[in-house]
Structure 1
Amino acid sequence: MAKTIFEELGGRYERQGDYLIPCIALPAEEEQPMGIWGQRHLDYLKQYRKVTYTNLLTSGRLNAYLADIDRQAQERFVRLIEGMKQAQGITERLKEENALEWTGRLGNIRACAREIVNEEIIFT
């Protein structure tokens, strides 16, 4: 009997009753830590970019891709916060003098930076 394309590529079949079922498994993928940015992008892919999500999942590159997105987003987030703090003059001295104002202004900066990262990296 001639080999199928699946068998020529190294695939095997498993007998279940009278049927031969292909033994299909996803390629092994190295587990990498993923933070909140990677999780948000994963949710976005699942909901709005299903083909991209499926391609990354079946090729075994999903975790590496999400870890890279997470790293890029975190670096961008930190750079934005530092830049905005310098531009607005938010210093440790302000923290010592008026902790409540410092907290409010820093919270505003974090919210702005979060929106920028979401638009530039996470939801693209």
Structure 2
Amino acid sequence: MNLLTRGKLNSYLADVEEQAENMFFRLVDQLAEQEGVTEKLKTEHQMLWVQKMNNIHNRTIEIVNGNLIYI
């Protein structure tokens, strides 16, 4: 409420959104690399790649939400 009354809520929310996006993309890249989800896998076993990327995507959303959004 304090941010809203001082007119700083929008800039705060934009900053949190930017941090969340940066964290999300960084974590997706790191987890994909750690788990061997590569372009080669994508071309050779497309459905396995999709399954692994969906799993990484969902886990990353939970991490970002837990660390930045729901604190």
Which range, TM-score by smaller chain? over 0.9
For residue 48 of structure 2, what is the aligned residue in structure 1? 101
Unaligned residue ranges in structure 2 (runs of 5+): none
Which structure has more strand as a fraction of its residues? 1
Q: Secondary structure at the match of 1:71?
A: helix
Aligned residues: 71
Deviation of 1:110 after TM superposition, in Å, equals: 0.4
Q: Compute the RMSD of aligned alpha carbons.
A: 0.4
**How far apart, in 1, do the equivalents of 2:48 and 2:2 lie?**
47
Select 2:2's aligned residue among 55, 59, 65.
55
User: 2:42 matched to 1:92?
Assistant: no
Q: Residue 71 of structure 1 corresponds to which residue in structure 2?
A: 18
What is the one-letter code of the residue matched to 1:123? Y
Q: Which amino acid in 2 is paired with 1:119?
A: G
**Higher share in helix:** 2
Measure how far apart 1:107 and its partner are.
0.2
Q: How does 1:1-124 map to 2 (within 5 A)?
A: 54-124=1-71
How far apart, CA to CA, are the structure 2 residues paired with 1:81 and 1:67? 21
Gaps of 5+ in 1: 1-53
Runs of 4+ in 1 over 4 A off after TM superposition: none
Residue type of the partner of 1:98? H
Q: TM-score, normalised by structure 2?
A: 0.98
Per-residue deviation, 1:57: 0.7
